Amino acid sequence: MSSDSGLARKKLSKTLKPHWVWAIALGSSIGWGSFVLPAEWMDGVGPLGVILGLTIGAVLMAIIAISYGVLIRNYPVSGGEFAYAFLSLNRVHAYISGWFLTLGYICIVALNATAFALMLKFVFPDFIENMRMYSVAGWEVYFTEVIVVTILVAFFTYLNIKGSGLSGRMQFVFVMILIIGVFSLTGLMTTNSGASFNHMDPVFSPEVSPIAAILTIVAIAPFAYVGFDNVPQAAEEFKFSARKALTLIMMALVFAAIIYSLMIITTAVAAPWQETSAAGLQWGTGTVVQEVLGTGGLVILVIALSMGIFTGLNGFLISASRVLFAMSRGKVLPKVFSKLHSQHNTLYFAIIFAAIVAIIAPWFGREVLGWIVDMSSVGVSIAYFYTCFTAYKMLKWNKKDSNYDETLHIVSPGKKFVAILGMISSVSFLILLLYPNSPAALGAESIWALVIWVALGILFYFVRRIDLQSYDREDLAYLILGKEKFKLTDKED
């Protein structure tokens, strides 16, 4: 069946410029983590362990990104990994990929918003710590905090409903302010008489081996760099050739690795890192920057952190809504998720839905939200695997491959080998997260969150199964990929 037989395929407006897409990838990858987590990451690892772990993680992400580049170039459609899993396998795998991605993206929207409230709690504790409601897993929940999160998410919801051009332009502005702030902070800290590179000794924690320390950080790479994969979610809205996507992703990963490293150095030179990490400070980086640079330094840090939060929140709201849209267009979700605004041609319902779920999260406390986000690293790793597997199937060693079809496949032995490395990297992330004896194994709470989300996914699939199965593969190929006759596999669903 095709478009001629009555299937209506909705399309999004092409409004995004290259530097906006680069800003979406970089701003989403950095988010709040580089400003809030350095002291926590160094604990039991050491500053060099964190820097090396995150650098290796960036290299592994770059390997995976090559497969993204191949697929974006050939399939610039919304949905990213959801579409890729359908392309190489079937609708069930597409559903699995989309289910995990949706949770991960929406949770990161909520996490960025609550990070803003956490920052205000550090800067203006008397303001945020008002109207205490209850405690969840040891985390005090204040109604003022919930209000702040709601207002912030509502603002970016409005921004995205107005159009991806506006949100993309603002993303670029936020990213440039962030970069200026980070370089200014590092320059001021490393040249200040109250700071010293000697505070970085020992560069590795004496409690564990250097390899174990590095692996602990490598395992969080899917969380640290999640955001570069926002690029394929917005591919349908590129106002430029999709060939540029891989270059933009690579540039974003390089900048992200540099910014992470600079913020680790900024935190570590201020005071002996072991004391900072062991002090149990609410915000280690904020405390040491204020001690060394005073109020002026803290203001720069707060501005940079705010920009990181805004870029993460905006970037993942863009991606979450696009995955919901693609799943709806592919008949996995109800059609209301693919409704477009009559004036702005934006995914207003999907955007509002993602925002509402994000606003609910703060009521459960940041500790519980943290468990869910940790669990979502598993889902992101699964999505990475699907992407690399799809690229592996599309790419061929040579034209003599038995199933080679010049309309379906690309001869590129180098990229095919890289796709294999990407699959291995993705599986390695999963092992590090799920193997009980791994130095980076998920906690019991995150495992239970994963089990619950999988169970909900199975339940929801059976609710939608009859409607989903009523469309044949050619129908779905047209709706998801924009192709009326295309499939990489002859497998039946």
Res 294 pLDDT > 90 = yes
Distance CA 69, CA 228 (A): 11
Res 427 pLDDT > 60 = yes
Residue 445 lies in a domain: yes
For 351-364, write each residue's pLDDT tens digit. Answer: 999 999 889 888 88
Res 490 pLDDT > 50 = no
| 302 compared with 365, residue with greater pLDDT | 302
The mean per-residue pLDDT over the stretch 436-443 comes to 80
What CATH number has the domain bearing residue 300? 1.20.1740.10
Residue 491 lies in a domain: no
For the chain, what is the mean pLDDT?
Answer: 88
Distance CA 305, CA 259 (A): 12
CB atoms within 10 A of CB 449: 24
Q: What is the pLDDT of residue 493?
A: 47
Counted domains in the chain: 1
Q: What is the pLDDT of residue 3?
A: 45
| 406 compared with 88, residue with greater pLDDT | 88
73-77, 107-111, 190-194, 391-395: lowest mean pLDDT where?
Answer: 107-111
Q: What is the pLDDT of residue 488?
A: 56
Q: What is the pLDDT of residue 485?
A: 52
Which pairing describes strands 139-142 and 395-396: parallel, antiparallel, or unpaired? unpaired
Residue 492 lies in a domain: no
The residue count of the chain comes to: 493
Residue 198 lies in a domain: yes
Say how far residue 22 (Cα) sits from the centre of its chain. Answer: 14
The mean per-residue pLDDT over the stretch 289-297 comes to 93
Q: What is the pLDDT of residue 24?
A: 94
Residue 24 · residue 168 · CB < 8 Å: yes
The mean per-residue pLDDT over the stretch 40-45 comes to 90
Res 2 pLDDT > 50 = no
Residue 219 · residue 435 · CB < 8 Å: no
Res 185 pLDDT > 90 = yes
DSSP string, 422-462: HHHHHHHHHHHHH-TTSTTPPPHHHHHHHHHHHHHHHHHHH
pLDDT band, very low/low/confident/very high, at 489 (cuts 50, 70, 90): low
Q: What is the dihedral of CA 413, 418, 420, 421, to 10 degrees?
A: 150
- Vertex 316, ends 313 and 317: CA angle to 5°? 80
The mean per-residue pLDDT over the stretch 201-209 comes to 91
Residue 221 lies in a domain: yes
Q: What is the dihedral of CA 358, 228, 66, 389, to 10 degrees?
A: -10
Residue 237 · residue 72 · CB < 8 Å: no
pLDDT band, very low/low/confident/very high, at 377 (cuts 50, 70, 90): confident
Distance CA 98, CA 267 (A): 37
Residue 231 lies in a domain: yes
The mean per-residue pLDDT over the stretch 130-135 comes to 86
Q: What is the pLDDT of residue 491?
A: 52
Run of H or E including 135 = strand 132-136
- Domain range for 427: 9-481
What b/e string do you get for 48-60 counting C-beta neighbours within 10 Å, with b at 16 or more? bbbbbbbbbbbeb
pLDDT > 70 in the chain, percent: 95
Q: What is the pLDDT of residue 6?
A: 54
Q: At 466, which amino acid appears?
A: I
Res 5 pLDDT > 80 = no
Omega prior to 202 cis, within 30 of 0: yes
Distance CA 380, CA 422 (A): 13
Q: What is the pLDDT of residue 470?
A: 87
Residue 475 lies in a domain: yes
Distance CA 25, CA 3 (A): 33
The mean per-residue pLDDT over the stretch 213-226 comes to 86
Helices (H), 279-336: 284-329
Residue 453 · residue 382 · CB < 8 Å: no
5: DSSP letter: G
Residue 14 lies in a domain: yes
| 4 compared with 427, residue with greater pLDDT | 427
288-292, 322-326, 405-409: lowest mean pLDDT where?
Answer: 405-409
The mean per-residue pLDDT over the stretch 267-278 comes to 90
pLDDT band, very low/low/confident/very high, at 465 (cuts 50, 70, 90): confident
pTM of the shown model: 0.89
CB atoms within 10 A of CB 241: 10
N-to-C CA span, the chain: 17
